[in-house]
Chains A and B, each alone.
Chain A
């Protein structure tokens, strides 16, 4: 029996190529996080799509660890209709605002850390 390639491994393979990917159902409706079956309200089979990377800040906070610089944590509503957690990096953590237009950039794998998407302000779209 062959082992299936996990949804996470496939997601990360896109990221390795610099692409943020998400799944769509049989009617093109977005699904995120990646999974092995279409959740209720969606129709299988699921297929992968590469995202435009464009989105809007839906919710935002920043964390101020003792003795370390603050960092942003945000939920981003992507133009394709799915939402993910990430951070906005191109502005100070406490200056990120709901409604800001942002664009994804892949932060490459580093040490034991897998690659993951971060976001920058989309100046042109303001």
Chain B
């Protein structure tokens, strides 16, 4: 390992959600992380005493890796609280692999927890005051993504109906996921007729507001092969950042997922056409569309036409966000960890009614901030290593 990570050198071996939706009164962020860690260790058969690397991020915790280590009563050799919003966990995967390859740790947990729904969003996420944006009262992050959508509509003729198709597809997948928050069918007309949050995005173009958390366990490829479940090998990772605030995003129709995706594909030695299942952070319907373009599943500007006619819904041409996504499954605020979980489960073939047949490769793409921090992980089954 010099200058880059090694394809297939580490794997995600355990995954678990905490309680989701609306958690019990008094449950804390670290309680939810703890549930996730317990479940993910059980999933792979490793013990807490073997964990020597801890990675955590949470909007409600200033020092989440410390909070989690204290809670677990462990003093790991390596810990990392990298915080870049919803893509933190994809970056944790890359950092954990680096640490594992360098011998700095061998068994890493990556954890997240949020009680934003039960605690009330105003109590949990005070926004930083920005004198160049806050006076104009954008509803962040919805207005940032709405501005990006306005630009995509203007340049490429994308329509609200096309965005609505993304929400409808997510809902159809969610109806096949017993853990999904949303249980009722959704139509394009219902999306269009919902309360407008920040034009052109209605409440149904926006991710859910739920509680929830979870954890992943990672270890070396060698160790991974002897564990309980089939490993999801890390074939590629990539990072791209372009700005923090939407007013500083150079081109609102092009995200740094182009860069992060290109790095991940290069490391994995794969092309978009060789990816079996696509899991992308769908904070808003426009987010899915931008990532389908920037990760190479369709040309720039074609995202709206690409998703039409149920193309990314069950039975469509490309399976996207098979758990129902942040739009319909759960969205506790920093959703990236769930994107990774679903990619792992698809590769294992344990997704039941929503399983994509013959799934050997998966892309898990995270998004943080206002389309700001892009982080891509490509995972593969043992057959791909």
Contact = CB atoms under 8 A, between A and B. Distances in A.
Interface of A: 8, 33, 58-64, 71, 73-75, 83-87, 94, 98-99, 113-114, 116
Interface stretch (B58-66, B111-119, B137-145): B137-145
B137 A63 contact: yes
A84 B247 contact: yes
Counting from the closest, the 5 A-B pairs by CB-CB distance are: A61-B146, A59-B147, A85-B247, A116-B135, A98-B154
B298 interface: no
A123 to B, nearest CB: 22
Given A75-B147, A83-B247, A85-B247, A62 B198 contact: yes
A73 B132 contact: no
Contacts of B132: 33, 84-85
Given A59-B147, A61-B146, A85 B199 contact: no
- Which of A61, A64, A71, A116 has most B Cβ within 10 Å? A61
B136 A73 contact: yes
Contacts of B138: 61, 63, 73, 85
A75 B158 CA distance: 19
A92 to B, nearest CB: 12
B131 A94 contact: no
A98 B151 contact: yes
Contact of A63 (B151, B154, B198, B245): B198
A59 to B, nearest CB: 4
Contacts of B146: 61
Given A83-B247, A114-B135, A94 B147 contact: no
A60 B198 CA distance: 10
Given A62-B198, A62-B199, A86 B148 contact: no
B197 A63 contact: yes
A116 B248 CA distance: 18
- Per DSSP, are chain A's interface residues mostly helix, strand or loop, or mixed? strand
A13 to B, nearest CB: 13
Contacts of A61: 138, 143, 146-147, 149-150, 198-200
Interface in B332-359: none
A5 to B, nearest CB: 15
B196 interface: yes
- Which of B131, B199, B246 has most A Cβ within 10 Å? B199
A83 B131 CA distance: 15
Nearest to A98: B154
A34 B336 CA distance: 33
A73 B247 contact: no
Nearest to A66: B195
19 contacts: A33-B247, A59-B150, A61-B138, A61-B150, A61-B198, A61-B199, A63-B139, A63-B143, A63-B197, A63-B198, A71-B137, A73-B138, A73-B143, A73-B147, A74-B147, A75-B246, A85-B246, A113-B135, A114-B135
Interface in B243-291: 245-248, 252
Contact of A94 (B199, B245, B246, B247): B199
Interface in B36-89: none
B150 A60 contact: yes
- Which of B132, B138, B196 has most A Cβ within 10 Å? B132
Given A61-B198, A64-B195, A75-B147, 8 more contacts: A33-B132, A59-B148, A60-B150, A63-B199, A84-B247, A87-B136, A113-B135, A116-B136
Contacts of B222: none
B133 interface: yes
B38 to A, nearest CB: 41
Nearest to B131: A8
Contacts of B199: 61-64, 94
A98 B139 CA distance: 20
B150 A73 contact: no
A114 B131 contact: yes
A98 B150 contact: yes
Contacts of A94: 199
A5 B154 CA distance: 41
Contacts of A114: 131, 135
Contacts of B133: 85
Contacts of B137: 63, 71, 73
A59 B137 CA distance: 15
Interface in B193-246: 195-200, 245-246
Contacts of A73: 136-138, 143, 147, 198
A110 to B, nearest CB: 10
Nearest to B245: A85
Nearest to B145: A61
B131 A85 contact: no
